[in-house]
Amino acid sequence: MRYLVATDSVHTSAAACDYLGERLADGDAVVGVAVAETDGSDAERDRREALNVFRVRLPGAGIETELRHGDTAAELRSAVDDHGADELVIGPRRGDPDADPVLGGTARDLLADPTVPVTVVPLDGG
């Protein structure tokens, strides 16, 4: 199984690791993908930190990470295809656990027209 995990924060990455930790089997792979709108921004730094969580929280798993730039939903759809993902794992909204609990725009976009199964992991406090 090849899981593509979309993340924008350490909170989303941690929630995804909690979900995957119970499911990963020998030979499974995890591809963490973060999307920043622009190069060199604070958001890009936060995305890189979020990607580092996978290596710490899922030791021994086959982990790849990738930082992309552009429209988040479009880049994630492209990443699913590029990496041959079997499942897409996302958070329900931006990774801040204190954010508005409404389903975020990127999650809505990805759930509206999925090409693979999409799992939405809960964030602490939400």
The whole model's pTM is what?
0.90
- pLDDT of 126 strictly over 60: no
Q: What percent of the chain has pLDDT over 90?
A: 74
> pLDDT digits over 27-68, tens only?
999 999 999 987 777 888 899 999 999 999 998 778 999 999
Domains, the chain: 2-120 (3.40.50.620)
The pLDDT score that the predictor gives to residue 93 is: 85
* Cα–Cα distance measured from residue 20 to residue 116, given in angstroms and rounded to the nearest whole number: 17
